[in-house]
Structure 1
Amino acid sequence: MTTRLKLGSAPDSWGVWFPDDDRQLPWSTFLDELSEAGYEWLELGPYGYLPTDPARLFDEVAARGLRVSAGTVFGSLHQPELWDSMLATTRAVAALAASQGAEHLVYIPPLFRDDKTGELLQSPHWGDEQWKTALRAADELGKILVNDYGVRLCLHPHADSHILTQPQIERFLDGTDAAHVSLCLDTGHVAYGGGDNLDLIARYAERIGYVHIKQMDPEILAQVAKESLSFGEAVKRGVCVEPPAGVPNPATIVSALSRLDAELFVIVEQDLYPCEPGVPLPIAVRTRDYLRGCGIGARHQRPAPS
């Protein structure tokens, strides 16, 4: 079977991190520009930024020739006292994603530093008991999502979270059930944590269910290490760069993914928060052209929502 890599983008690439923020552009502008840039697929981004009424969301997305690849949610797996509230939020996002025909839910661990201020909110390290709790919770959540919504949990390693470095990613994958839990391989965050994307692709090919393609500026990564910068500050300094700049080499990543026996979404995520309104669109067009030159991207007919 030949791998099919389907190209999309996300609100992050338009400077959107929050459901509502006066430094972000309106959701209608994001959808307009995403379509104008030539993408077909979109990830929903923070719940509440795009319309949450399924019929309205479908109409707005379809009117622009777009389709939804996945929902996105932050949630805590290592804090049992937050399970009920986390599950309720995750169910809402999963239901919305499924209503649009999406089969993936990108699940991001909570950050241990504040997005905007960089303030340390909790210890940056999990102990063994917290790891055990998180792994059990991931398996349980993965079962719920598959059984109730037909949506697959894709854990997203993230800067300033407890699952970022390659040993942490491997511990998570080795400790969870492959039948219900996948990896969202975010190439930029793996690089941010000092990991090896090509090694992960080679050794955990069957666990990769979804991809965020992203590159980091090595000079700013050095500043992160030297100054202990928060991810928010690193983004302000321009740590996320458009291809072909930065690490990892995006062409090498696409080549490795193309050899896998799987169908994968490859979603562009160049974090730009905050940015001026005119910045994202030209970057999105150049990025689309570059990645299509690497062999990603084809138009398909869009099915009706469930």
Structure 2
Amino acid sequence: MSTASLSPTARAVISNLCLGSAPDSWGVWFPEDEHQVPYTQFLDELVEAGYTWLEIGPYGYLPTDPRQLAEEVHSRGLQVSGGTTFGALHRPEQWDEMLASTRQVAELTAAMGAHHLVFIPPMYRDEKTGAYTEEPTLTAEQWAGYGRAASELGKILLSEYDVRLCLHPHADSHIQTQAEIERYLNESDARYANLCLDTGHVAYGGGDNIDLIRRYAERVEYVHIKQMDADVLEQVWKEGLSFGEAVKRGVCVEPPAGVPNPASIVDELSTQDLERFVIVEQDLYPCAPDVPLPIAIRTREYLASCGLSGTDRPRPIPRFAEDG
């Protein structure tokens, strides 16, 4: 009997997937913010919720000194799955600044023994006000430059830090819809620039997660598992809401509610002979400090019932051989 045919309560542990969580699930969007819990609370509650693996989150939220971060993480029995950074690949005038900040995160990520860097493109609407800050679509010239920049950045990260660039589709960004995700993949070099499949953001943009997993299997290096409330998504499309406003209305929901169906995502990933981290994210900013922990516990228990465990470390997806 295949794992996919088992009910959530009966599934054995899926050996090629490793479960973790991230500061985002504790309402953390920024390095510092008055609405966010202290990082020590996040780490302590991560352990209490039963997780072993974590993503670093916004650079500066957790300690940026490698020795201090290692002490905070390892003293709690935790391990780091990857780093997180933000940057604009379609703005060549910001390349040097973006590269410098990305190097910082890559260095910290590598120091923690992790090999994945989740790269989040900027939103074209303000995170807090919803105001448009730039055009929502890229020109053909910008797309070509985007692919070149992603490939060059990924090559630097892989060769200098042994860290893999995993671009994260995001609501209100230029990599939001399925067409935009596929264009990014087609414009970039598969050896160096690949994907962090955020299932919730793909659904937010009207994309098909299962199709992406099947057709672009070797480019899906890392996964954020997230669900969106279908009713709030309808409000987004009808009212033209910003992502920040959608989050305030509760667009991100805990499993098994929402779209896509998390069990279906786990089933599909389990059929592939590729080992991946599957990191829980539920956008909660802003939220009361006592809100995240119960959700985190229920989420881990549900995903464990689907066969997701956080005990083993996935092997990196093999990279394509260098030319020449």
TM range (shorter): over 0.9
Are positions 1:55 and 2:72 aligned together?
A: no
5 Å-filtered alignment, 1:13-162, equals: 13-162=25-174
Q: Is the 8 A contact 2:143 2:187 kept in 1?
A: no
Tell me how far 1:291 sits from its aligned partner: 0.4
Tell me the distance in 2 between the aligned counterparts of 1:216 and 1:298: 23
Are positions 1:281 and 2:255 aligned together?
A: no
* Deviation string, structure 1 residues 66-106 (Cα, Å, up to 9, x no partner): 10001001101011100000000000000000000000000
Are positions 1:206 and 2:218 aligned together?
A: yes
* Deviation string, structure 1 residues 116-135 (Cα, Å, up to 9, x no partner): 11111000010001101111
3-state SS of paired residue (1:107):
strand
5 Å-filtered alignment, 1:147-296, equals: 147-296=159-308
Tell me how far 1:299 sits from its aligned partner: 2.2
Tell me how far 1:300 sits from its aligned partner: 4.7
Tell me the distance in 2 between the aligned counterparts of 1:299 and 1:167: 35
3-state SS of paired residue (2:224):
strand
* Deviation string, structure 1 residues 215-274 (Cα, Å, up to 9, x no partner): 000000000001111101100100000000000000000000001111100000000000
Q: Is the 8 A contact 1:3 1:259 kept in 2?
A: no
After TM superposition, the runs of 4+ consecutive aligned structure 1 residues lying more than 4 A away are none
Map of 1:10 onto structure 2: 22
Tell me the distance in 2 between the aligned counterparts of 1:195 and 1:160: 14
Tell me the distance in 1 between the aligned counterparts of 2:243 and 2:36: 18
* Deviation string, structure 1 residues 185-229 (Cα, Å, up to 9, x no partner): 000000000000000011001110000000000000000001111
Tell me the distance in 1 between the aligned counterparts of 2:311 and 2:240: 43
* Deviation string, structure 1 residues 139-174 (Cα, Å, up to 9, x no partner): 000000000100000010000000010000011111
Map of 1:304 onto structure 2: none
Tell me the distance in 2 between the aligned counterparts of 1:232 and 1:153: 26
Tell me the distance in 2 between the aligned counterparts of 1:121 and 1:289: 40
Tell me the distance in 1 between the aligned counterparts of 2:128 and 2:77: 34
CA 224–299 in structure 1, closer or farther in 2 if over 3 Å, else same: same
RMSD across aligned C-alpha pairs, in angstroms?
Answer: 1.0
Q: Is the 8 A contact 2:168 2:198 kept in 1?
A: yes
3-state SS of paired residue (2:184):
helix
3-state SS of paired residue (2:144):
helix
How many residues in Structure 1 have an aligned counterpart in Structure 2? 300
Normalised to the residue count of structure 2, the TM-score between the two structures is: 0.91
Partner AA of 1:193 in structure 2: G
> What are the ranges of 5 or more consecutive residues in structure 2 without an aligned counterpart?
1-13, 314-324
Tell me the distance in 1 between the aligned counterparts of 2:294 and 2:38: 18
State which of 290, 294, 311 in structure 2 corresponds to 1:299: 311
Tell me the distance in 2 between the aligned counterparts of 1:151 and 1:103: 4
Tell me the distance in 2 between the aligned counterparts of 1:184 and 1:54: 24
Tell me the distance in 2 between the aligned counterparts of 1:256 and 1:170: 19
Q: Is the 8 A contact 1:31 1:61 kept in 2?
A: yes
Tell me the distance in 1 between the aligned counterparts of 2:294 and 2:257: 16
> What are the ranges of 5 or more consecutive residues in structure 1 without an aligned counterpart?
302-306
